[in-house]
Structure 1
Amino acid sequence: MSNLELIARLLLSVLFGGVIGIERESVKRPAGFRTHILVCIGSTLTMMVSLYMFDLFYGKVNIDPARIAAQVISGIGFLGAGTIIRDGASVRGLTTAASLWTIAAIGLAVGSGFYLAAALTTFFTFIILLTFSKFENHIPKKRHLKDIFLVIKDSPGQIGKIGTALGELNINIKGIKVDSNEDDKLALSLSLSLPPKIRINDITERLLKLDGIYDIEYENLDDEKTVFFKQMYERKM
């Protein structure tokens, strides 16, 4: 391998890793621009080291050039696991972990000189990450889980009223946690199983009809929705 070929492969790995990393960075994922570049260029170097050692010891000892590179695929799992976060009833980071595993494979392909496959995989991965999330929203789902956090009045039957109100919306309570907030208040955390057509607005409007509801918060809501629910609560008061 010439020095020019070596430089070209490393630059290509930076380019391909950067393309996927930019998309992950744009949606504020734990592993973003720099992480994907480092994984890709590291995988490329590992593959080139494997090929270099094969050429260096060819005919002297029995060396499998894929043996070192194979450790990248298993080793990248530890890095990917670090991006997976359990957030209440949901798990986040699986897509980022998969993109890290894929970018490692792309780096290996670049390191071995398999440029066309590396370029096509980069293109397809970028398109999948950029556009396929929109298709996921249209896939029919039976139910999905959502965490809701309430501050309620500490009075007999209050939790039962909330359960009844949610039951009227065909919502199942999968988990419940109660903590003392103040003398006359409770912090209530609920994991809800929502039917497909139910909206967060429907839940909020129904709960705000009950007395003794002081605050309502949901997991993973943007600032705009948070302000909307705050205004609804203030109008109730």
Structure 2
Amino acid sequence: MGLALQLGEPTGQGWTQILELAIALVLSAAIGLERELRNKSAGLRTHTLIGFASALMMLVSKYGFTDVLGDHVVLDPSRVAAQIVSGIGFIGAGLIFVRRDAVRGLTTAAAVWVTTAVGMAAGAGLPVLAGAATIGYFIVVFAFPWLTSWLPDGRQLSRFVQVTYEDGRGLLREIVSTCTKRGWTVVELTTRRVEPAPVDALVDSGGDGGPRHAPGVRPVSVMLELRGSIDHEELISDLNNLYGVLSVAASDLGPDPDS
């Protein structure tokens, strides 16, 4: 160390620091591999580079300025570490996006923060803490979904229901009323005209034996965004039983179990 200072070179360029970089590389790659296998937007390479770079910056923060130390120079090694925490927020924010009030990417963004912390711990010479944090990460991502599956689900799911019906029967009000009676909240609805298919005969409703619609009727399609925490099968059945409803299709956009 004394010789290095006499030569005007920073210390901290030995096998110990290389080992710390290697630990950061392996642990962050393990986290990235889990994200990669789940086909997330930030995978193996992104997490590995983040953890590796965090460890390197920690080492630079610790040893990179030893050649300028003197009686009139005082350094704060924690400043670089603090900037790592601030800077990684830009990457995390870029992984989060919102689609119709459903947030995606939160877990992956959190994984980036954990990977950064693991790399920083390894670079700071705390390999035991880095390893423990990595184990904790895998406990959260693998054990917690099983745990939450046993909890009562009170989350509000968003479900999209497309109903095609005969125009001119005042069915839209009845459709909305049916949804609300079943405990769903209508968040948004959009209607559009549908070109009627060429039909040469009346179509059987399948319920009471009467005709559901006649040739030449003008079908209208309404897309309903519904929100609730209940099963939608009974709602679909009720909508199908409305006289004048031609078809009902549903798709969900609920909370991502691993967003």
**When the two structures are superposed, what TM-score results if normalisation uses the length of structure 2?**
0.74
Q: Does 1:193 align with 2:193?
A: no
Give the corresponding residue for 1:108: 120
Give the corresponding residue for 1:218: 252
Give the corresponding residue for 1:204: 236
Q: What is the RMSD computed on CA atoms of the aligned residues?
A: 2.4
Matches within 5 A, 1:15-54: 15-54=26-65
User: Number of paired residues?
Assistant: 218
Cα gap change, 1:162 to 1:179, in 2 (>3 Å): closer
Q: Does 1:126 align with 2:126?
A: no
CA distance in 2, matches of 1:185, 1:57: 79
Instruction: Give the conservation status (yes or no) of the 8 Å contact 1:152–1:212.
Output: yes
The AA in structure 1 aligned to 2:156 is H
Q: What SS does the corresponding residue of 1:138 show, helix, strand or coil?
A: coil
Instruction: Give the conservation status (yes or no) of the 8 Å contact 1:107–1:118.
Output: yes
CA distance in 2, matches of 1:159, 1:193: 18
Q: Does 1:95 align with 2:107?
A: yes
Moved more, 98-107 or 20-29: 20-29
Which residue of 41, 52, 65 maps to 2:77? 65
Instruction: Give the conservation status (yes or no) of the 8 Å contact 1:18–1:34.
Output: yes
Matches within 5 A, 1:73-88: 73-88=85-100
Cα gap change, 1:207 to 1:67, in 2 (>3 Å): same
Instruction: Give the conservation status (yes or no) of the 8 Å contact 1:149–1:187.
Output: no
Moved more, 30-39 or 185-194: 185-194
Determine which structure has the larger helix proportion and give its number: 1
Give the corresponding residue for 2:25: 14
Structure 2 residue ranges without an equivalent (≥5)? 1-11, 196-217
Instruction: Give the conservation status (yes or no) of the 8 Å contact 1:145–1:191.
Output: no
**For each residue in 1:10-68, what CA deviation from the matched residue of structure 2 results, as whole angstroms up to 9, or x when unmatched?**
22112111211122222222112211111101111111111122433333521111111
Q: What SS does the corresponding residue of 2:75 show, helix, strand or coil?
A: coil
CA distance in 1, matches of 2:222, 2:232: 17
Larger radius of gyration: 2
Instruction: Give the conservation status (yes or no) of the 8 Å contact 2:161–2:248.
Output: no
Percent identical residues: 31
Which residue of 139, 144, 159 maps to 2:172? 159
